[in-house]
């Protein structure tokens, strides 16, 4: 039985869907908070709930005693932890939401994993942990200790917290640093969703850093495939690990960190041009300066996850954007 936290969220929904199709018993957990449209989250849950192999628990992960009680009747073998307070900008406005969900909540998940003696805990980290680092492509072998927003700091803290549990309790953990995930059922606060909505409504789109961002946009199906590869792997202590020259991505404990991206970065303007091409409609653009907390460029080195797990993304930007736009127009047809 697999526990998927954040199951009503963007990536969690896709992971739970794939696991159900593969015949797994899935417990989906989510608090259905109002950070973005709850109706969208409930629409995802409605699809998942069509499977007899899906059980939904609505609760807050930072409330450990209730979490432990609700999960006590299940034999949880693996956990895919995707529940978190997401968003870079909102972490500037409301840091306590991130501390509660991403720090206290992750402690609850670690304790639950220890209690159930799970075979593997896979959890979401982020490319944002690389922060002030401008050495591209970003590699897990490089130090990631200079986050430039609080959201990234909480995710880096998760990686260190996971290492402590891997070391103390021999708990296998894998942290996955996601690179700008997009696709159908995506979040309304993300660029593709916002751009599409405004272009279709003939409203100008805000483009920060005067359009000079570069992003490693990664299609959600590729991310899901990587998550499941990680979930089904067996982490062991790294052989010949040298404590006098420790590497940040592995350990003498059963612990790993992997980048999971597309490794084919494009400029933001190329991305927008592809949206325009797919919609057959030009965008009116409002160019703005760099936002506080934004990094200019991201690019993933995915050689480690490819070598260890066989991960290889296959979805082009053109196909991924087309799939999103097809979903968006179908989902919102008649809803406005």
Number of C-alpha atoms within 13 angstroms, CB side, residue 45?
21
Residue 181 · residue 324 · CB < 8 Å: no
What amino acid positions are annotated as catalytic residues? 151
What gap in Å lies between CA 235 and CA 170, rounded to an integer? 10
Domains in the chain, CATH or no CATH each:
2-181+219-261+300-314 (3.40.50.720)
Matching residue, tokens 């939904």: 56
Overall average pLDDT of the 213-225 stretch: 97
What gap in Å lies between CA 54 and CA 20, rounded to an integer? 7
Overall average pLDDT of the 233-241 stretch: 76
Reference 13, options 296, 221, 250; nearest CA is 221
**How much is the pLDDT for 195?**
96
Average pLDDT, the chain: 94
Confidence of residue 100 (pLDDT cuts 50, 70, 90): very high
Is residue 313's pLDDT more than 80? Answer: yes
Query: What are the pLDDT digits (tens) for 53-77?
Result: 999 999 999 999 999 999 999 999 9
Is residue 154's pLDDT more than 70? Answer: yes
pTM equals: 0.95
Query: What are the pLDDT digits (tens) for 273-293?
Result: 999 999 999 999 999 999 888
Residue 180 · residue 298 · CB < 8 Å: yes
Reference 330, options 204, 225, 196; nearest CA is 196
């Amino acid at each position: 039985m697999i526990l998927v936290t954040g199951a009503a969220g963007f990536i969690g929904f896709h992971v739970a869907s794939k696991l159900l199709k593969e015949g797994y018993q899935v417990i989906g957990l989510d608090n259905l908070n109002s950070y973005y449209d709850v109706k969208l989250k409930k629409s995802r849950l409605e699809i998942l709930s069509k499977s007899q192999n899906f059980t939904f628990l609505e609760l807050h992960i930072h409330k450990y005693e209730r979490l432990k009680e609700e999960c006590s009747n299940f034999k949880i073998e693996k956990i895919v932890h995707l529940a978190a307070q997401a968003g870079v900008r909102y972490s500037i406005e409301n840091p306590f939401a991130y501390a509660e969900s991403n720090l206290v909540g992750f402690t609850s998940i670690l304790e639950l994993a220890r209690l159930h003696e799970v075979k593997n805990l896979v959890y979401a980290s982020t490319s944002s942990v690389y922060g002030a680092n401008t050495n591209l492509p970003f590699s897990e072998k490089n130090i990631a200790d200079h986050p430039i927003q609080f959201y990234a700091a909480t995710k880096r803290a998760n990686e260190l917290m996971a290492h402590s549990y891997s070391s103390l309790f021999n708990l296998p953990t894998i942290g996955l640093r996601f690179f700008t995930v997009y696709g159908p059922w995506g979040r309304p606060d993300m660029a593709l969703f916002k751009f599409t909505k405004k272009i279709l409504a003939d409203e100008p789109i805000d483009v920060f850093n005067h359009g000079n961002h570069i992003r490693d946009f990664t299609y959600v199906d590729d991310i899901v495939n990587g998550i499941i590869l990680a979930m089904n792997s067996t982490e062991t202590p790294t052989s010949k690990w040298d404590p006098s020259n420790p590497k940040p991505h592995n350990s003498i404990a059963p612990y790993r960190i992997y980048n999971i991206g597309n490794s084919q970065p494009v400029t933001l303007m190329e991305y927008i041009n592809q949206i325009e091409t797919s919609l057959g409609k030009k965008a009116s653009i409002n160019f703005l300066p760099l936002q506080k907390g934004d990094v200019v460029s991201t690019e993933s080195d995915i050689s480690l996850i490819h070598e260890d797990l066989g991960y290889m993304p296959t979805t082009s930007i053109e196909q991924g954007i087309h799939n999103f736009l097809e979903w968006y127009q179908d989902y919102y047809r008649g809803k406005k």
